[in-house]
Amino acid sequence: MSYLLNAIALLVELAFDAVATLFLLRLAAEACRADFHNPLSQFIYRTTNPVLAPLRRVLPNWRRINLAALLVAWLAMLLKRIVLFALVGLVAHPLGLFVLSLAELLDYALLFYLVLVFGWSLMSMFAPDPYHPLQRLLGTIVDPLLRPLRGKLQVGMIDFSPTVVIVALLLARMLVAQPLLDLGTQLAVVG
């Protein structure tokens, strides 16, 4: 691939990943019942609502899972793959695109949580204001992952539960998402 195509591919990935991140944030904030009065939560809701409001009429929530936000995040991954294949002059097999975009969404969601847990643990080390909007939103989103381990892996004043969660997320990316990505790529290119 030429240098220009590499640059265009990078910009395409950044654009679609930003969209997926926004809708994954909406999905996680709703699932974890983030405080709606938080300015960051309000930004996320205001930004995603024009897209999700019409979709939610057709695709309602399942329990606390916003299926419309999940669908939009998956569509962002699917469109990203279609554009990236088109950049190199390939037309991918539809089944391969379906599997590849699902696997890429899973991998991206695992990476998303990995970054959030790491960022939250890094922020908590420096004892920021517990009422800071970012600290409150991150704490709400990562709490379901950390809660089962909290206090069980503590040595002195140091809690190692974020480390265990980060290792588990890395292993899930390697052992679950990567084989699915490989399978999707094989199906997309062979077809």
pLDDT tens digits, 112-156: 999 999 999 998 888 677 788 888 999 999 999 999 988 888 888
Cα separations in angstroms, 99 against 103, 122, 150, 179: 6, 34, 35, 11
pLDDT digits (tens, 9 = 90+) for 90-122: 889 999 999 999 999 999 999 999 999 999 999
Give the lowest-confidence range in 37-41, 47-51, 76-80, 127-131: 127-131
pLDDT digits (tens, 9 = 90+) for 68-86: 999 999 999 999 999 999 9
Q: Where does the pLDDT of residue 87 fall: very low under 50, low under 70, confident under 90, or very high at 90 and above?
A: very high
Distance between CA 9 and CA 123 in Å, rounded? Answer: 32
- Confidence at residue 159, expressed as pLDDT on a 0 to 100 scale: 84
Distance between CA 47 and CA 118 in Å, rounded? Answer: 25
* pLDDT (mean) for 146-172: 90
Report the b/e string of 38-71 with b at 16+ CB within 10 A.
Answer: bebbeebbeebeebbeeeeeebeeeeeebbbbbe
Displacement of CA 185 from its chain's centroid (Å): 20
> In terms of Cα–Cα distance, which of 92, 79, 94, 85 is closest to 15?
79
Number of neighbours of residue 186 by Cβ within 10 angstroms: 14
Q: Is the pLDDT of residue 191 over 70?
A: no
> Higher-confidence residue: 126 or 43?
43
